[in-house]
């Protein structure tokens, strides 16, 4: 097992050696989506980044338990326990049950992540499936004296907490600045302190998603679900907690406070945060209305796009940036990524066809392999890894053209190295469209179908068209002949 891995810990604001609490096991919790609408490309970037991390840890031999939750209750519109319930609001709008909303967007989320070839997490718990665990945790925090109940709602007592613990430990902000940025309480407020947040919220009569609790009928606050579910599946202390950078200031800060008050320990040893996908420098978000849906990107139907891009080309585009750097969306950047992705896939297709020359390799494959590991060991630096893999592409093309000699052992090492890093670690597959073999195969299929049509064998020609349609390939008859495309 590799022990040279170094990762950036938001908690300490520096790169640290990765030393799991209980090797070879690694517990990793990542905040999942709030399933009240379609995931946008920004959300996908965060999940692709953690997929890379999950894949590399697994590749190194760690036994990773990867828990990624589904937020299907308790998330109000404002992060400060204010506004309508996101699920109930959407349910009214679409005239569906809140749980129909949850089901619809959870299925959509899974489908999109499947297209991006992300591996499923080991456990995907839902907030609604863990109400009793959340209630138990709120009760414990009350018993420990870090919460209080007012009229059926339970608040976390930040003022009490800051006397013993560092509330802003994750982001290092000044408490005074935080207070200055929070609105003053008025006589109507139930909260005692301006920074207090709800652990359990009393349900108004019109609130649909509601559960009985020791404090009356209500629903959980947003932050408690992640503390309760990470504790249940990974223990009081685990290795990695992740999410997008936007979650650090409120959601993760409050998670730490809850876990610390309940378990008297920091929940995670390493906190990892992914940076944002931006559009013209502005963070992509549902509320800003600049969210691209992945399908708009695949089909090219979004007004800002010149054409569509395959999910694998988009995955490559994301991995070309380091997970802690912002990534700005543009046609030019996607075009360049698409070219790079195709160059890499062409080399992957040539790889099994290469012949060893028997002569000593003219390129040092072992050194190249070490550089690939060094890139990933340096806080999962995928852009540097990709640059090294293009060096491998150069070797592949030169060997194929007979311009470079390679001995059998080096050739085997080159093939293993590329399969490991391109498929297993980066999670890139050949999406087939555009590859020579696939084009030729489609020509054969289309010829057979057209011959069947000419012979008036419509049963066969229809079966071919429907069979292709079932795997996402559409045929279009035109003056130039039969065209095909992936939908």
Q: What residue ranges bind ligand AMP (CB under 6 A)?
A: 31, 33-34, 42-43, 45-46, 243-244, 246-247, 274, 276-277, 283-285
Closest-approach residue to ligand AMP (CB)? 244
The residue count for binding Zn ion (CB under 5 A) is 2
Core vs surface per residue 421-444: b (16+ CB within 10 A) or e? bbeebbbbebbbbebeeeeeebee
CB 11 within 8 A of CB 271: yes
- Those residues whose C-beta lies under 8 Å from the C-beta of residue 392, and which sit 6 or more positions away, are 347, 368, 414, 417, 418
How far is residue 348's CA from residue 351's CA, in Å, rounded to a whole number?
A: 5
Residue 27 burial (10 A CB sphere; 0-12, 13-18, 19+): buried
Q: What, of ligand AMP, Zn ion, none, does residue 226 touch, CB below 5 to 8 Å by kind?
A: Zn ion
Minimum CB separation of residue 229 from Zn ion in Å reads 9
Residue 247 or 389: the one with the smaller Cβ distance to ligand AMP is 247
Minimum CB separation of residue 242 from ligand AMP in Å reads 8
Residue 39 or 365: the one with the smaller Cβ distance to ligand AMP is 39
Token match 């965060």: residue?
46
Binds Zn ion (CB under 5 A): choice among 203, 226, 272, 312: 226
- Stretch 189-218: interaction string toward Zn ion, x if CB under 5 A: ------------------------------
CB 52 within 8 A of CB 319: yes
Residue 157 or 246: the one with the smaller Cβ distance to ligand AMP is 246
Minimum CB separation of residue 288 from ligand AMP in Å reads 9
Position 327 contacts Zn ion (CB under 5 A): no
- Stretch 22-61: interaction string toward Zn ion, x if CB under 5 A: ---------x------------------------------
How far is residue 136's CA from residue 151's CA, in Å, rounded to a whole number?
A: 19
Nearest partner of 271 among 239, 246, 249, judged by Cα? 239
How far is residue 145's CA from residue 57's CA, in Å, rounded to a whole number?
A: 39
Q: What distance separates the 2 farthest-apart alpha carbons in the chain? A: 86
Residue 31 or 88: the one with the smaller Cβ distance to Zn ion is 31
Minimum CB separation of residue 446 from Zn ion in Å reads 49
**∠ Cα 85 90 94 (to 5°):** 155
Residues of the shown chain interacting with Zn ion in the complex, contacts defined by CB under 5 A = 31, 226
């Amino acid at each position: 097992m590799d022990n040279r891995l170094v990762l950036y810990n938001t908690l300490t604001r520096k790169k640290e050696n990765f030393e799991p609490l209980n090797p070879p096991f690694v517990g990793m919790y990542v905040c999942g989506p709030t399933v009240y609408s379609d995931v946008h490309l920004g959300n996908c970037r965060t999940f692709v980044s953690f997929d890379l991390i999950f894949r590399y840890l697994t590749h190194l031999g760690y036994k990773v338990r990867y828990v990624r939750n589904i937020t299907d209750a308790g998330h109000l519109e404002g992060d400060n326990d204010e506004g309508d319930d996101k699920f109930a609001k959407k349910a009214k709008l679409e005239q569906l049950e809140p749980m129909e909303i949850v089901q619809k967007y959870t299925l959509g989320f899974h489908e999109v992540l499947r297209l991006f070839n992300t591996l499923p997490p080991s456990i995907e718990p839902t907030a609604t499936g863990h109400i009793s665990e959340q209630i138990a945790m709120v009760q414990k925090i009350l018993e420990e004296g870090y919460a209080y109940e007012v009229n059926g709602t339970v608040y976390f007592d930040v003022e009490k907490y800051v006397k013993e613990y560092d509330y802003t430990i994750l982001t290092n902000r000044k408490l005074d600045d935080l207070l200055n940025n929070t609105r003053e309480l008025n006589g109507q407020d139930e909260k005692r302190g301006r920074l207090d947040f709800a652990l359990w919220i009393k349900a108004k009569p019109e609130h649909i998603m509601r559960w009985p609790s020791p404090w009356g009928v209500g629903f959980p606050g947003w932050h408690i679900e992640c503390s309760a579910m990470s504790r249940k599946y990974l223990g009081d202390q685990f290795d990695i907690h992740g999410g997008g950078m936007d979650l650090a200031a409120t959601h993760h800060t409050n998670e730490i406070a809850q876990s610390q008050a309940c378990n008297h320990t920091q929940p995670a040893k390493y906190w990892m945060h992914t940076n944002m996908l931006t559009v013209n420098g502005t963070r992509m978000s549902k509320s800003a209305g600049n969210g691209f849906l992945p399908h708009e990107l695949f089909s090219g139907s979004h007004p800002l796009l010149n054409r569509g891009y395959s999910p694998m080309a988009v995955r490559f585009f994301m991995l070309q940036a380091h997970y802690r750097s912002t990534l700005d969306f543009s046609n030019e950047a996607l075009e360049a990524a698409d070219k790079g992705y195709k160059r890499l896939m062409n080399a992957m297709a040539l790889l099994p066809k290469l012949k060893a020359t028997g002569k000593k390799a003219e390129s040092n494959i072992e050194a190249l392999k070490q550089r690939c590991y060094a890139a990933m060991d340096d806080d999962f630096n995928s852009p540097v890894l990709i640059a090294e893999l293009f060096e491998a592409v150069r070797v592949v093309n030169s060997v194929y053209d007979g311009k470079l000699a390679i001995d059998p052992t080096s050739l085997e090492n080159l093939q293993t190295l590329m399969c490991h890093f391109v498929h297993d670690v980066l999670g890139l597959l050949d999406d087939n469209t555009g590859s020579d073999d696939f084009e030729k195969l489609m020509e054969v299929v289309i010829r057979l179908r057209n011959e069947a049509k000419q012979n008036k064998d419509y049963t066969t020609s229809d079966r071919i068209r429907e069979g292709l349609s079932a795997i996402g390939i559409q045929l279009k008859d035109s003056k130039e002949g039969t065209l095909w495309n992936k939908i």
